[in-house]
Structure 1
Amino acid sequence: MIGDISPPVASIPVVEGNAQAMNSKTLLPPLSTVASHFGTSGLSVALATGVTHPLDVLKVRLQMQHVGQRGPLIGMTGIFLQLMKQEGPRSLYLGLTPALTRSVLYGGLRLGLYEPTKVCFDWAFESTNVLVKIASGAFAGAVATALTNPVEVVKVRLQMNPNAVPIAEVRELVSKEGIGALWKGVGPAMARAAALTASQLATYDETKRILVKRTSLEEGFHLHLCSSVVAGVASTLITAPIDMIKTRLMLQQDSGSVRIYRNGFHCGYKVIRKEGPLALYKGGFAIFARLGPQTMITFILCEKLRSLAGLHKM
């Protein structure tokens, strides 16, 4: 299961008269192992992102419907047909470059930090129960997002503007709104990533453990598929509202004192008040249609790549 990178008990020497002292040389894995660990994670997320990116574009367009007002919503099929008619097939791949860039960095950090974090919690609390897994996932997701938020901001801006160029968009954003604009929505983004990673990885990890213990499934494709499906459903239900708020904040145009939303909580309050509670799930089906397959592809690929790289199974 996830967390197999922990060292054997024999690697922690006992010194008479003192508490156990950890040998740092045996606790830290070789650099090649670390590189393989983060590399397989980043590559699996990037490949999954490339396959599901059109659904991410549709999700963003759905979330930006009727900002600040109630009204009949266009469904995912309607948005798709609208995009095809007005902007062409290429519009489904708007923001792909920053999306893939972020996937390699964010995916590598998010999945790559989960196991070391869980091992640290195991050493600290002598436990690897589900709460430790949730806390480890939340920490890994939040840190990964805080570091890669600027790329996410550029991605969603490009997804709403078919004529934008990545570098030009960054220059315009920074010149008009300052360098801090690259961290727009970082609070909700970190909350979403923490919730996503905690629900996704902890659910996958725990589901694998339960299925191996209570069913005839063994380590392999079918176990990975079943566990990733459960993880995809759980993470979608938990993160859809936070994802919508994050998108609204990242696309908010700051000009002087004109700001629709002051922060994530204010955004959520205004959305519920003016657009109704269900507005928090705008684009929810698109999120599930994207996050479900992405979760399955990510975990199945990651398990295979880790096997090829000689790493332990997740």
Structure 2
Amino acid sequence: MADKNQTTTKSIPPYMKAVSGSLGGVMEACCLQPIDVIKTRLQLDRTGAYRGIIHCGTTITRSEGVRALWKGLTPFATHLTLKYTLRMGSNAVLQSAFKDSQTGNLSHQGRLLAGFGAGVLEALVIVTPFEVVKIRLQQQRGLSPELLKYKGPIHCARMIIREEGLFGLWAGAAPTVMRNGTNQAAMFSAKNAFDGILWNKHEGDRKVIQPWQSMISGFLAGTVGPMCTGPFDVVKTRLMAQNRSGGELKYKGMFHAIKTIHAEEGLQALWKGLLPRLMRIPPGQAIMWAVADQVTGFYERRYLNN
């Protein structure tokens, strides 16, 4: 009974996890937006216009200006902040639900399920509509407002709803759910494992690891998902970039898109943009966890240090 009460006392509440995630998301967005723009342009490139990450970045800078590398920053930053708030909070709630009622322990399967559930929830509620807007903005060439169809994130969302209906904002929802669910199941489990293996850190033990330690654990945890979910990410981007208002759609859905891309561009095309994803996601996780762990660590020191 004493162990059970001790476990309950030492639990960090979901709202603190949500706050820590939101602050980490703001920092990540500001640092890594250019890599996300490059990743999107590479994934949408069907003609080989870009010869790689550096060539893509320099081409965008030369033809559209440096500011073009921060296209879509407003929806990206808002999306990351809301996404991490929901991800961290819902994962904490689901982990509590999956804990053993007698011991208060969380099994490996429970941690995976909590991560997957958090990923599915964030994909449907936040990620899909924000990424549709972000990708539509990022695929536009140039910076002159009069030449752009979408003038900004709000205008873009309104245009999509007007031309394609409300569900146009949820284009590519299926691969987004698969990508995010798998990513978060792997990420939360890997982060917990690396914290324990590398730093002997366990939640509620009142031990606060240093930001550089959080960055290492977060970076390592962020490398697994992109390699496994590359095809889902490419398909998501292609489906979201389609304008449903005119003519026949090239891609009819997730599986049709996978078959079409494989037939027309080869198997390797399903992993287009993997390198910029690996340049963005693991560093992004490193930045986010460095902030989040300090926030939750402060809470542990102040309120769980009994």
Q: Same fold (TM over 0.5)?
A: yes
* Correspondence 1:5-84 to 2 at 5 A: 9-10=4-5, 34-66=14-46, 74-84=51-61
Gaps of 5+ in 1: 1-6, 13-25
AA aligned to 1:142 is V
Shift in CA distance, 243/311, structure 1 to aligned 2, threshold 3 Å: farther
Find out whether 1:108 has 2:85 as its counterpart.
Answer: yes
* Structure 2 Cα separation of the partners of residues 125 and 74 of structure 1: 57
- Contact 1:58–1:286 (CA under 8 A) maintained in structure 2: yes
How far residue 280 of structure 1 moved from its aligned partner, in angstroms, is: 1.1
Relative to structure 2, which stretch is displaced further, 256-265 or 171-180? 256-265
Question: Between Structure 1 and Structure 2, how many residues are aligned?
Answer: 285
- Corresponding residue for 1:135? 113
What is the CA deviation profile of residues 16-70 of structure 1, one whole-angstrom value per residue up to 9, with x for unaligned ones?
xxxxxxxxxx99x99xx5543312211112211211011000000000011xx7x
Secondary structure, counterpart of 1:261 in structure 2:
coil
**Match for residue 121 of structure 1 among 98, 102, 106:** 98
What is the CA deviation profile of residues 106-147 of structure 1, one whole-angstrom value per residue up to 9, with x for unaligned ones?
110112211221121114797523222111111001101201
**Match for residue 201 of structure 1 among 188, 204, 217:** 188
Percent of aligned pairs sharing the same letter: 26
How far residue 287 of structure 1 moved from its aligned partner, in angstroms, is: 0.5
- Corresponding residue for 2:154? 167
Shift in CA distance, 263/143, structure 1 to aligned 2, threshold 3 Å: same
* Correspondence 1:246-285 to 2 at 5 A: 246-256=236-246, 258-285=248-275
- Corresponding residue for 2:209? 220
How far residue 230 of structure 1 moved from its aligned partner, in angstroms, is: 1.5
- Corresponding residue for 2:72? 95
* Structure 2 Cα separation of the partners of residues 125 and 262 of structure 1: 48
- Corresponding residue for 2:232? 242
* Structure 1 Cα separation of the partners of residues 165 and 252 of structure 2: 17
Gaps of 5+ in 2: 202-206
- Corresponding residue for 1:15? none
- Corresponding residue for 1:157? 136
TM-score, scaled to structure 2: 0.84
Segments ≥4 residues shifted beyond 4 Å: 124-127, 309-313
How far residue 181 of structure 1 moved from its aligned partner, in angstroms, is: 0.2
Secondary structure, counterpart of 1:172 in structure 2:
helix
AA aligned to 2:120 is A
Relative to structure 2, which stretch is displaced further, 255-264 or 138-147? 255-264
AA aligned to 1:139 is G
- Contact 1:37–1:311 (CA under 8 A) maintained in structure 2: no
RMSD across aligned positions (CA): 2.8
Secondary structure, counterpart of 1:258 in structure 2:
coil
